[in-house]
Amino acid sequence: MFDVDLFVIGGGSGGVRAARIAAGHGAKVALAEESRMGGTCVIRGCVPKKLMVFASGYPAAFEDAAHYGWQVSAGDFDWGQFRARLGAELDRLEGLYRAGLVNAGVTVHDSRATLVDPHTVRLADGTELRARHILIATGGRPFVPDFPGREHVLVSDDIFNLERLPESVLIVGGGFIACEFACILQGLGVEVTQYYRGAQILRGFDDEARGHVAELMQEAGIRLHVGCDVEAIEPRDGGYLVRGRDGSERVFGAVLYATGRVPNTDGLGLEAAGITPGRRGEVPVDEWSQTVVPSIHAVGDVTDRIALTPVAIREGHAFADTLFGNMPRTVDHGLVAAAVFTQPCELGAVGLTEEAAREKGPIHVYQAAFRPMRQSFAGRSMRVMMKLVVCAQTDRVLGCHIVAPEAGEMIQLAAVAIGMGATKADFDRTCAVHPTMAEELVTMRNPVRTA
């Protein structure tokens, strides 16, 4: 009755992991991807963005080097050269993803696939395949609200393919994508203005931490305007005239919208298969990543749970182990670390924010802000922040928030301890590694406040 045991729609991180693991368990697997293998993370997101973060950090590093006795100068940034190297690296990674599938025995279809019914998918050329199980892993796409002139804006997917960098850019949005690209482009020499309609950027993160990041971004030269939104955009003078809702008008070389992402389900055929999409277009699933249709599952951003690549990979792996490996397991979405790669400091977070923890009961808050040794020696006034949110009744560390260079690296290790249920006493018993920024996490003795 079936051509394959599993048909995966989407070649991003979650879909590829599920396909490979299922094939390793002996299942006959096929996968369809209409764009490039690797999905958002490898081709249009995490990987190229992080490489741009690295590139944009060199001007500050050159400045600091002079204070350490090095005679260096940054010179001019060659966007064309960097973009070519970036493209070659993405080609290499895409090749690895494809080879991993082929070597695992997965049949790859470079085609769009849509649902026909609970067991049938149709490829772009009209070919229909029957599958015992179908996994939807189509990810998400950038969202741009409807307003006059929306056709003139860029989205994050476009940045990596620009022929040249603009002299000035307006970035609209206050999430991690908007803030990261604001820092990246500012570091590459672009004059950056950022509008966010809310009261503070990075909604959902700890209030004190996101306020610290906002201050550092402004000190770095980013013109951040909160409580501000766009009314209309029109071409003007080789750029784009942006009218703000506050009555302001200004011309920018480009306008980048980073106002969130939505599940990529348009035209997928969910209704034909018996699935009603959620309010944002997501595929509703249970803790086993199963939809209301027993033969159809979904993982990753398309489910609108936690839109992070490692989460999608875990979901895809757990799905394959459960269905084809006789190892039933679910994914715990309750404690997931995250990092925002802003500059000069990143934001790393795991667990509860101070605000969320306070709602659950009494807490002790331990916090320290200081000038790190490397930047202090170079004459920079930048301050980093370390913060622990601790349950006053059990002494368990409920949350950790770090604003510092390489905060993403530090929060990964803190997440292990917090995931194991570490208490503040456990942190205190840990001997510091000196001199490091992270040693502050184990040397904070007295809470700055109790709530």
Is 312 annotated among the ligand-binding residues? Answer: no
Distance between CA atoms of residues 447 and 248, nearest Å: 44
Phi, psi dihedral angles at 271 (to 5 degrees): -65, -40
In this structure, the number of other CB atoms found within 10 A of the CB of residue 71 comes to: 6
At residue 74 the predicted structure's pLDDT band, cuts being 50, 70 and 90, is: confident
What are the angstrom distances between the C-alpha of 226 and each of 177, 198, 200, 252? 16, 6, 6, 18
Is 278 annotated among the ligand-binding residues? Answer: no
- Note the pTM of the prediction, 2 decimals: 0.96
- Distance, first Cα to last Cα, the chain: 62
Domain boundaries, the chain: 4-141+262-325, 145-258, 345-450
Q: Do domains 145-258 and 345-450 have the same CATH topology?
A: no
Is 260 annotated among the ligand-binding residues? Answer: yes
Spatial strand order of the sheet with 168-172 comes to: 223-226, 191-196, 168-172, 254-257
Distance between CA atoms of residues 238 and 84, nearest Å: 26
User: Considering the chain, what is the average pLDDT of its residues?
Assistant: 97
State the SS3 of 264-333: CCCCCCCHHHCCCCCCCCCCCCCCCCECCCCCEEECHHHHCCCCCHHHHHHHHHHHHHHHHCCCCCCCCC
Half-sphere exposure of 78 (CA within 13 A, CB side): 7
Question: What are the tokens at 275?
Answer: 């699935």
Q: Could you confirm whether 434 is annotated as catalytic?
A: yes
| 4-141+262-325 has CATH 3.50.50.60 classification | yes
At residue 150 the predicted structure's pLDDT band, cuts being 50, 70 and 90, is: very high
Is 180 annotated among the ligand-binding residues? Answer: yes
Fold that domain 145-258 belongs to in CATH: FAD/NAD(P)-binding domain (3.50.50)
Predicted local confidence at residue 237, as pLDDT: 84
Indicate the DSSP class of residue 218: H
Q: What is the pLDDT of residues 92-148, one digit of tens each?
A: 999 999 999 999 999 999 999 999 999 999 999 999 999 999 999 999 999 999 999
Is 179 annotated among the ligand-binding residues? Answer: yes
Long-range contacts of 49-53 (CB under 8 A, 24+ apart): 49/156, 49/180, 49/181, 49/184, 49/341, 50/341, 51/86, 51/89, 52/86, 52/159, 52/160, 52/184, 52/188, 53/180, 53/183, 53/184, 53/341, 53/343
Q: 110 with 97: CB under 8 angstroms?
A: no
Q: What is the pLDDT of residues 378-433, one digit of tens each?
A: 999 999 999 999 999 999 999 999 999 999 999 999 999 999 999 999 999 999 99
Is 24 annotated among the ligand-binding residues? Answer: no
CA dihedral 275, 45, 93, 26 (to 10 degrees): -20
Is 176 annotated among the ligand-binding residues? Answer: yes
Question: What are the tokens at 219?
Answer: 């000190």
Q: What is the pLDDT of residues 5-62, one digit of tens each?
A: 999 999 999 999 999 999 999 999 999 999 999 999 999 999 999 999 999 999 999 9
Is 173 annotated among the ligand-binding residues? Answer: yes
At residue 75 the predicted structure's pLDDT band, cuts being 50, 70 and 90, is: confident
Helices 46-56 + 79-104 axis angle, to 10:
150
CATH homologous superfamily for the domain 345-450: FAD/NAD-linked reductase, C-terminal dimerisation domain (3.30.390.30)
CA 408 to mean position of chain CA atoms: 12
Which is nearest to 287 in space by CA: 302, 272, 298? 298
Is 421 annotated among the ligand-binding residues? Answer: no
CA angle 412, 413, 414 (to 5 degrees): 95
Write down the catalytic residue from 67, 152, 364, 434.
434
Q: 305 with 311: CB under 8 angstroms?
A: yes
Is 227 annotated among the ligand-binding residues? Answer: no
